[in-house]
């Protein structure tokens, strides 16, 4: 079995099933030991995964631009005051009845498989007061599986899982559960769940779908979402639908609340139908405001092996996200026919570009120094050398995003990271070692055909928990490079 240079691109989420960090031994006593260690590592790698194609490369990151709202963990207050920390609380769930007029409108104006890109406008939001409610009420004809999430102040919260507490009634008075066929045309009512949140006034928020493209069975086999993709309202995968303002107002929605219907697209690939009816949800509360600036990031996630063991292929000994970050100015124009503000342009704001790194996990028990374009960060004394950090040791929670996942965050001086050259390395010291050790080992990004000790993937690829091993060597679709 041979590796092929393009097999991993776009599908490294399969790696999520597992990367193991075993207890690390001190193997850095001499230069001879280091060479022997490299040879053992490569032999064990080939033994487990098969011969490596000489043209195999280990950079699988697309560097796709991802947008986010500028506000993260704090919001601005009055001039001269310290920004207020964002707080979020879940206020509870209830039910709401959606009447036939709304259901018929979805079937008439949002039929499955038709391109509805022009039916709605891009959707961004900032909470202008404290509370808002989300009510998923419509599923279209889709075989994918998804969860609806919201990002508030830089932290992600799961709102709803496909099918959950959603049912429809037909003319005979019978209630039915949802299937992959979605809400049918014969539905006369839909009973939808509502989810209400309270957040600090002014907190930035946006929504995204977490999508398992393999459908219901993929979710059952991968409930933590290692293989899922994120499709965000910031990247035009959700639209505020136009033409629905005259529809009947659902009972139970306060009169002073502004209501939007958000249509979601669950596929952003080149063959997407762009129908935006895969999921629709009500978003009501105070009026939303237009966002004039977006933060854009282009990120590679580097997963590293520290060679503490030569038969350990967990690649979670060091996990670091490195990004180009800049601000884009968004230009809006009013559509006179619809009364809606529509985005007409977006371009980079000069002088805002910089590079930053976030260390997400450190699964080894040896001290190390991470070097990214000449900017360095060392594990100890910030953290105890032997601690395995954010990799699920002994069943501890793994945080894949948000503040709890950030072991360290720093700026790359002079924008010196070169994403094409992958000028990233890690220097590993002997047990209890320091930078004065003679027996250090520096690991760089692998050349073509080498057994990799560092790989680059998209930031959507979750790293692995402790005590699991990378699936591979079977020749099946479960092999991690597939």
pLDDT at 115 exceeding the cut of 60: yes
> Which percentage of the chain shows pLDDT scores above 70?
76
Give the pLDDT confidence of 188-218 residue by residue, as tens digits: 999 999 999 988 877 778 899 999 988 889 8
Domain boundary among 265, 290, 315: 290
Condensed to tens digits (0 to 9), the pLDDT of residues 215-261 reads: 889 899 888 888 888 998 888 788 888 666 556 778 778 777 778 88
Q: Is 129's pLDDT higher than 70?
A: no
Q: Where are the beta strands (DSSP E) in 162-292?
A: 167-170, 175-177, 187-199, 204-212, 229-232, 238-241, 258-264, 279-285
Same domain, residue pair 316 and 407: yes
Specify the higher pLDDT residue, 119 or 367: 367
Neighbouring C-beta atoms of residue 474, cutoff 10 Å:
11
Within this chain, do residues 189 and 322 fall inside the same structural domain, yes or no? Answer: no
Does residue 334 contact residue 341 with C-beta atoms inside 8 Å?
yes
pLDDT bin (cut points 50, 70, 90) of residue 315 is confident
326 pLDDT band, cuts 50/70/90, is very high
Average pLDDT over residues 411-439: 84
Which of 9, 60, 19, 11 shows the shortest CA–CA distance to 301? 60
pLDDT category at 272 given cuts 50, 70, 90 is: confident
Going by pLDDT thresholds of 50, 70 and 90, the confidence category of residue 479 is low
pLDDT in tens, 41-81: 889 888 888 888 899 899 989 998 888 776 555 555 544 55
As given in the structure block, the two tokens for residue 296 are: 């854009």
Residue 191 forms part of a structural domain: yes
Clarify whether residues 110 and 250 are in a common domain.
yes
Considering the domain boundaries, does residue 471 fall inside one? no
Q: pLDDT digit string (tens) for 170-192?
A: 999 999 998 888 899 999 999 99
- pLDDT-above-90 percentage for the chain: 34
* Mean pLDDT confidence for 333-342: 63
257 and 303 part of one domain: no
Q: How many CB atoms are closer than 10 A to CB 344?
A: 10
Mean pLDDT of the chain: 80
Q: What is the pLDDT of residue 25?
A: 41
Does residue 466 lie in a domain region? no
Residue 478, in any domain of the structure: no
Token digits of residue 404: 């709890």
Q: State the pLDDT confidence band at 18, using cuts at 50, 70 and 90.
A: very low
Question: Within 10 Å of residue 410's Cβ, how many Cβ atoms?
Answer: 15
- pTM for the whole structure: 0.66
- Shared domain for 299 and 214, answered yes or no, is no
Helix (H, G, I), strand (E, B) or coil at 375: strand
The candidate with the shortest Cα–Cα distance to 453, out of 40, 165, 82, 41, is 41
Least confident range of 53-62, 286-295, 323-332: 286-295
Same domain, yes or no, for 252 and 161? Answer: yes
Burial 351-368 (b: 16+ CB within 10 A, else e): eeeebbbbbbbbbbbbbb
383-409 burial: b if 16+ Cβ within 10 Å, else e: eebeebbbbbeeeeebebbeeebebbe
pLDDT at residue 19 greater than cutoff 50 = no
For 252-265, letters b (16+ CB in 10 Å) and e give ebeeebebbbbbbb
- Would residue 144 count as lying in a domain? yes
Considering only 241-255, 279-293, 386-400, 417-431, which range has the smallest mean pLDDT? 241-255
Residue of 243 and 468 predicted with greater confidence = 468
Average pLDDT of 405-432? 93
Q: In this structure, is residue 312 part of a structural domain? A: yes
Look at residue 6 in the predicted model and tell me its pLDDT.
28
Domain with 326 in it: 12-64+295-457
112 with 180, same domain? yes
pLDDT at 322: 98
Domain finish residue from 290, 325, 357: 290
**235 and 339 assigned to the same domain:** no
In a domain, 472, yes or no: no
For residue 123, pLDDT beyond 50: yes
198: number of Cβ within 10 Å: 15
> Do 283 and 394 fall into the same domain?
no
| 417 shares its domain with 381 | yes
| The length of the chain, given as a count of residues | 482
- Say if residue 275 is in the same domain as residue 317: no
Number of domains in the chain: 2
Q: Does residue 406 belong to any structural domain of this protein? A: yes
Residue 232 contacts residue 206 (beta carbons within 8 Å) = yes
Examine the domain organization and report whether 184 and 235 are in the same domain.
yes
**Of 237, 272, 290, which one is at a domain's C-terminal end?**
290
C-alpha count within 13 angstroms, C-beta hemisphere, residue 164: 16
Instruction: Note whether 230 and 208 are within 8 A (CB).
Output: yes
């Amino acid at each position: 079995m041979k590796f092929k240079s393009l097999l991993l691109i776009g599908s490294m989420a399969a790696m999520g099933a597992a990367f193991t960090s075993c207890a690390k031994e001190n193997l850095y006593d001499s230069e001879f030991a280091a060479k022997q260690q490299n040879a053992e590592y490569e032999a064990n790698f080939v033994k487990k995964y098969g011969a490596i194609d000489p043209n195999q490369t280990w950079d699988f990151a697309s560097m796709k631009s991802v947008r986010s709202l500028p506000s993260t963990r704090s919001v601005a207050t009055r001039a001269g005051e310290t920004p207020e920390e964002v707080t979020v609380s879940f206020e509870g769930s209830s039910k709401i009845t959606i009447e036939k007029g709304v259901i018929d409108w979805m079937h008439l104006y949002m039929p499955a498989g038709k391109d509805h890109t022009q039916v709605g406008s891009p959707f961004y939001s900032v909470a202008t007061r404290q509370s808002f409610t989300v009510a998923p009420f419509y599923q279209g004809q889709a075989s994918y599986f998804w969860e609806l999430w919201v990002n508030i102040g830089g932290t992600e919260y799961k709102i709803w899982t496909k099918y959950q507490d959603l049912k429809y009634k037909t003319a005979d008075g019978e209630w039915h559960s949802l299937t992959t066929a979605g809400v049918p045309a014969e539905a006369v009512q839909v009973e939808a769940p509502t989810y209400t949140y309270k957040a600090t006034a002014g907190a930035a928020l946006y929504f995204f779908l977490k999508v398992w493209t393999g459908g219901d069975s993929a979710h059952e086999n991968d409930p933590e979402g290692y293989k899922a993709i994120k499709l965000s309202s910031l990247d035009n995968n959700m639209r505020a639908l136009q033409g629905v303002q005259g529809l009947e107002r659902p009972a139970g929605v306060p009169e002073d609340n502004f209501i939007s219907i958000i249509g979601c697209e669950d596929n952003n690939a080149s063959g997407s139908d762009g129908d935006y009816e895969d999921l629709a949800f009500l978003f009501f509360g105070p009026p939303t405001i237009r966002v004039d600036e977006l933060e854009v990031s282009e990120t590679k996630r580097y997963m590293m092996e520290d060679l503490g063991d030569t038969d350990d292929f967990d690649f979670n000994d060091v996990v670091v996200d490195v990004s180009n970050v800049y601000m884009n100015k968004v230009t809006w124009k009013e559509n006179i026919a619809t009364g809606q503000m529509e985005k007409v342009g977006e371009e980079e704001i000069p002088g805002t570009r910089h590079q930053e790194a976030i260390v997400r996990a450190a699964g080894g028990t040896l001290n190390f120094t991470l070097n990214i374009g000449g900017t360095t960060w060392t594990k100890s004394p910030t953290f105890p050398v032997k601690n395995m950090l954010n990799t699920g040791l002994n069943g501890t929670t793994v945080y894949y995003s948000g503040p709890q996942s950030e072991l360290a965050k720093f700026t790359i001086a002079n924008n010196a990271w070169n994403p094409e050259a992958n000028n990233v390395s890690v220097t590993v010291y002997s047990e209890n070692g320091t930078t004065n050790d003679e027996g250090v080992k520096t690991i760089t990004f692998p050349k073509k055909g080498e057994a990799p000790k560092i790989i680059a993937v998209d930031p959507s690829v979750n790293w692995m928990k402790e005590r699991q091993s990378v699936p591979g060597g079977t020749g099946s679709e479960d092999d991690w490079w597939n």
